[in-house]
Chains A and B, each alone.
Chain A
Amino acid sequence: MGKKRLTMRRKESIYGYIFVMPWIIGFLAFTAGPLVFSFMASFTNYNITSQMDFVGVDNYQGLFTEDSLFWTSLWNTLYFVAFSVPLTTIGAILLSALLNQDIPGIRFFRTLYYLPAVLSGVGVYLLWMQLLDPGTGMVNLILSWFNIDGPSWLFDPDWTKPSLILMKMWSVGGSMLLYLASMQGVSKSLYEAAEIDGANTWKQFRHITIPMITPVIFFDVVTSLIGGFQIFQEAYVMSSNGEGGPANSLLFYNLYMWRQAFENFNMGYAMAMSWILFVIVFVLTLINLKLAPRWVHYEGEEK
Chain B
Amino acid sequence: MAKTTDDASYVEKKDGLKTLSGTNKNPGYFEHRGNRKNMLKLINFILLAAGSLLILSPLWWMISTSLKTMAEVMSFPPTFFPESWNWSNYIRTWEAAPFTRYTINTLTITTLVVIGNVISNSFIAYGFAKIPFRGKNVLFAIVLATMMIPGFVTLIPQYVLFAKLNWVNTYFPLVVPAFFGSAFNIFLLRQFYMTIPNELIEAAKMEGANHFYIWWKIGLPLTKPAIATVAIFSFNGAWNDFLGPLLYLNDENLYTLQIGLQVFKGQMSTQWNYLMAGSLLVLLPVILLFFFFQKYFIQGINLQSGGK
Residues of A within 8 A of B (CB): 9, 12-20, 22-27, 29-31, 33-35, 37-38, 41, 48, 95, 98-99, 101-105, 109, 111-116, 118-124, 126-128, 130-131, 133, 135-138, 141-142, 144, 170, 173-174, 177-178, 181-182, 188-189, 192, 195, 201, 215-216, 218-219, 226, 229-230, 232-233, 236-237, 240-241, 254, 257-258, 261-262, 267, 270-271, 274-275, 277-278, 281-282, 285
Contact = CB atoms under 8 A, between A and B. Distances in A.
Interface in B209-246: 210-211, 215, 236, 239-243, 246
B115 interface: no
6 contacts: A16-B132, A19-B127, A20-B124, A25-B180, A30-B158, A115-B55
A188 B258 CA distance: 46
The 7 closest A-B pairs by CB, nearest first: A26-B180, A19-B127, A16-B133, A34-B157, A121-B240, A123-B279, A16-B131
Contact of A122 (B40, B262, B280, B298): B262
Contacts of A133: 270, 272
A98 B153 contact: no
B301 A178 contact: yes
Nearest to A182: B305
B96 interface: no
B151 interface: yes
A19 B211 contact: yes
Interface residues of B, number: 97
Interface string B264-299: 011000101001101110110011001000100110
Given A16-B136, A31-B149, A136-B74, A267 B127 contact: no
Interface string B175-208: 0010111000010000000000000000000000
A135 B240 CA distance: 29
A126 B120 contact: no
B128 interface: yes
Nearest to B173: A30
B131 A27 contact: no
